[in-house]
Amino acid sequence: MNNIVLCGFMGCGKSTVGKNIARKTGRKYVDMDRYIEQKAGMSVSEIFEKYGEQGFRDMEHEACRELSGERNIVIASGGGAMTFERNAQVFKGSDTIVLLDVPLETIKQRLSGDTTRPLLQRPDKDEVMQRLYEQRMPLYKSAADISVEGQSTPLKTAFAVMDALRLYPSPGKREQQGENKN
């Protein structure tokens, strides 16, 4: 089975939605940023600090190449991963890239108080977020095979992705109650 690669702006729900899809379909879940951290032995923030954004982007591209060789996984890509044509091309043809499309105002609400995102650790973070969102959304749309509205709850969004891909829950995973908010 092909991999499902979730893309979209930071805070759109890639990780939580990805975990729900994996759980419901019996697939393995991989968070690309955690994958990179594990390989590098340091956090994304530490990678940015030590190697700069370009060093992180090179590690991210290598992660895309490695993960595209896997099968039957749900990948939550990093917020910037699918803004680079070289990363999107790695997945094109063999995997399905799904954009979780969430309005900027919803993302701002979701990220209020979040101190874990290196690109937003600055006093002008609202302006930076606006600029990044405007730059990245056309790139996500270009990379994606399909787009799913992601403003709903993580579980409902996961089911919307599964419906769009014509995936069905594994036996014993059909319950739609008990939403996971992790």
Rounded Cα–Cα distance for residues 34 and 103 (Å)? 25
Rounded Cα–Cα distance for residues 32 and 107 (Å)? 20
Q: Output the pTM of the full model.
A: 0.87
Residue whose entry in the numeric block shows the structure tokens 């006093």: 123
Nearest Cα residue to 12 out of 125, 93, 169, 129: 129
What is the mean pLDDT for each group of 10 consecutive residues in the chain (182 residues)?
A: 92 95 96 97 92 95 96 94 95 94 92 73 84 95 96 94 86 47 42
Nearest Cα residue to 100 out of 44, 30, 160: 160
Nearest Cα residue to 8 out of 142, 152, 118: 142
What was the pLDDT predicted at 122?
77
Structural tokens at position 11: 């805070």
Distances (CA, A) of 70 to 5, 35, 48, 65: 12, 13, 27, 9
By the 8 A CB rule, do 13 and 150 touch? yes
Nearest Cα residue to 164 out of 180, 139, 177, 145: 145
